[in-house]
Amino acid sequence: GNSVTQMEGPVTLSEEAFLTINCTYTATGYPSLFWYVQYPGEGLQLLLKATKADDKGSNKGFEATYRKETTSFHLEKGSVQVSDSAVYFCALAAGGTSYGKLTFGQGTILTVHP
């Protein structure tokens, strides 16, 4: 079956530090890949996505590249802010799926200190 594995957390950084959160997946075919973010007390919201190999998703300074050869979709940001403190989830949708039946990773808690 499909699965998503994220790096162990929590991650604690100082403001303006570089962020990487690793995500690898197992899936048949060619899944679509997503990063969702959950701010304290809120539901999840889509941060970025990529639907085919070598695509780069980007939003709010965050980026992730769909790497089929390493089955990875690592999240990066060059300079984090305190407001980026949240839980980040990597997720996949099975190939050919246009709707939201997603498989999620376990989430990574990010805390950014001033």
Partner 1 sequence: EAQVTQNPRYLITVTGKKLTVTCSQNMNHEYMSWYRQDPGLGLRQIYYSMNVEVTDKGDVPEGYKVSRKEKRNFPLILESPSPNQTSLYFCASSLVRGGGTGELFFGEGSRLTVL
- List contacts with partner 1 (CB under 8 A): 6, 32, 34, 36, 41-46, 49, 51, 89, 93, 97-102, 104-107
Q: Which residue, 3 or 79, has its beta carbon nearer to partner 1?
A: 3
Least distance from partner 1 to the Cβ atom of residue 60, Å: 16
Q: Are 21 and 108 in contact (CB under 8 A)?
A: yes
Shortest gap between Cβ of 52 and partner 1 (angstroms)? 12
**Which amino acid type is present at position 85?**
S
- Whether residue 77 contacts residue 62, with contact meaning beta carbons closer than 8 Å, is answered with yes
